[in-house]
Amino acid sequence: MADITDIKTIVYTEKTLELQEEGIIVVQTSTKMTKNGLKEVFKEYFGITPLRINSLRVEGKVKRFKGKEGKRADYKKFYVKLPEDAKIESLAV
């Protein structure tokens, strides 16, 4: 079952702030999160039923640091469309 701890962060960039004006928030989660799981989390913790959820899987980049190669973590990004009257107080910027 999905849990609130699977949500890593809310993404705040210029593009995502424009999307927030339209009622869409961007959430970065662990790779094991599913659309249905995220929907359950929003219902349970925020009391909001999302209208639409789109997902995107992001592969971690391979980077070098002091000659050693490493890889950033993989994650999923979800675009969550909220109802017009829905407000999440902790997301206010």
Q: What is the pLDDT of residues 39-69, one digit of tens each?
A: 999 999 888 899 999 999 999 999 999 999 9
Given a cut of 70, is residue 38 above it in pLDDT? yes
Q: What is the pLDDT of residues 1-27, one digit of tens each?
A: 678 888 899 999 999 999 998 999 999
Given a cut of 70, is residue 91 above it in pLDDT? no
Domain architecture of the chain: domains with CATH? 4-83 (3.30.70.330)
| Residue (of 28, 43, 44) closest to 82 by Cα position | 43
- Integer CA distances (angstroms), 55 to 29, 33, 76, 92, in order: 10, 10, 7, 23
- Give the distance from CA 38 to its chain's centroid: 9
Question: What's the predicted TM-score (pTM) here?
Answer: 0.84
